[in-house]
Amino acid sequence: MGFQNLACYRKTMQMDGTVAMWCWLHFPQLALRRRLGQLSCMSRPALKLRSWPLTVLYYLLPFGALRPLSRVGWRPVSRVALYKSVPTRLLSRAWGRLNQVELPHWLRRPVYSLYIWTFGVNMKEAAVEDLHHYRNLSEFFRRKLKPQARPVCGLHSVISPSDGKILNFGQVKNCEVEQVKGVTYSLESFLGPRTYTEDLPFPPAASCDSFKNQLVTREGNELYHCVIYLAPGDYHCFHSPTDWTVSHRRHFPGSLMSVNPGMARWIKELFCHNERVVLTGDWKHGFFSLTAVGATNVGSIRIYFDRDLHTNSPRHSKGSYNDFSFVTHTNREGVPMRKGEHLGEFNLGSTIVLIFEAPKDFNFQLKTGQKIRFGEALGSL
C-alpha cells in the first residue's frame, strides 16, 4: 500500500511539474495575448502611440530579439509607416529657427568648414568666399555664385534650373511619372486637379487620358518630364529653365520626408506626399510647369516674385492646396521669365520636377544618375 501511495505521489508531482513547466512556457504568451487584446480595443491613435516604441525596438535590437512577439499575434508597424509618423514638419521648422540664429564670429569658420568637408561644397564658386561673411547657416545655404561660375547654354531650348543629380527623365506615359527607375507617381495627384478658371485654358479632366490630353494643347506634341535632386552640398537657388510665362501657382502643404534617391525608391508617390509648389504656364511649344518639392529640413521654399507664398506652416489639412493666379485684370499674361533668370531658392536641398509639352522630336541630352549644373543643357529640338 505504501508503494502505491509513493507511486501516486510521484505521478502527481510529475503532473504538477508538467503543469508548472507549461505555465512557465506559456504564461508570457498568454499575458501578451491578453495585452494585445487590450490594445486591439484602443482607438487607432492610441494604438499607434503604444505600438510605436515597441516597433522602434523591434527594428533596432540585434538578433531579432523581439521576433518571438510575432508568435502571439503582434506585428510591427512597417518601416514606411514608421518613417511617415516622424514629425518631419515640426523638425523642419525647428531646423529653420536654428538656421536663423546668428553665429559668433569665431565659430563661423569651424562650423562652415565642417559642412564644406562633409558635403563637398566648392566655395571657389561662391560670390563671397570669406566664411566670416555669412552670419548664420541660412545665409550660407543660400549663398550666391560668381557670375561666370554658371554660364547659361544658349544653343538649347531647355537648361537645367539648378545644380543636382538627374533621377529620371523622358516621356510621360499612362499619366504616370517615374520619380526614380521603376517607382512612379500619378501625374494628376502631383499637379492637382485641373479646375476651370479664367487663367487656365483647360476644363476639368474626366479621366487619366483626358487629363494628360488637356496638358498637351497642340497636336503632334508629347508630354515630357525631368527630375533633378539637389543634395545638401549643391547650390540651393533655382532658375528659369527656359523662356516662359508663369500664370498660376498651386501650393500643396504636406509632409517633409527626405527626397534622396534611396528614399524615393522606398516610398511610392513620395513627391505627392511632400509639400510642393507647382508653377504652371506656357512656353513657345505649349504647357510648361516647374515644381519645387520640399524635404526634411527644407520646409522653406521661396519664389522671388511671389510674396504671398508661405510654406511649412504649423497647421494644414491633408490633401489640401492653395491656388494663386498671376493673371489679373491689369496683367493678362502673367509673369514672364527669361532663361537663366533667378526664380527661387530652397533652404538646404530638395528636388525640382519639370513637366512640359514639346514636339515629338524633342531630345534630352542626359543620362540617368549624372551630375548636372545650372545652365547646362537638358534637351532641345
Q: Which residues are catalytic?
A: 163, 239, 350
* Stretch (H or E) spanning 74: none
Cα–Cα distance, 239 to 303 (Å, whole number): 10
Cα–Cα distance, 354 to 299 (Å, whole number): 20
Count of alpha carbons within 13 angstroms of residue 3, beta-carbon side: 0
User: Under DSSP, is residue 231 helix (H, G, I), strand (E, B) or coil?
Assistant: coil
The answer to whether residues 375 and 153 touch, using CB atoms and an 8 Å cutoff, is yes
Convert 25-61 to b/e letters by CB count within 10 Å (16 or more is b): eeeeeeebeeeeeeeeeeeeeeeeeebbeebeebeee
In the DSSP assignment, the letter for residue 123 is G
Residue 308 CB contacts under 8 Å (≥ 6 apart), including other chains: 324
Cell of 170: 523622358
The answer to whether residues 179 and 227 touch, using CB atoms and an 8 Å cutoff, is yes
| Backbone φ and ψ of 138, nearest 5° | -60, -45
Using a 10 angstrom Cβ sphere, with 0-12 exposed, 13-18 middle and 19 or more buried, the burial of residue 82 is middle
Considering Cα of 342, then 345, then 351, then 355, what sign does the dihedral take?
negative
Cα–Cα distance, 285 to 144 (Å, whole number): 31
Using a 10 angstrom Cβ sphere, with 0-12 exposed, 13-18 middle and 19 or more buried, the burial of residue 245 is middle
Residue 31 CB contacts under 8 Å (≥ 6 apart), including other chains: none
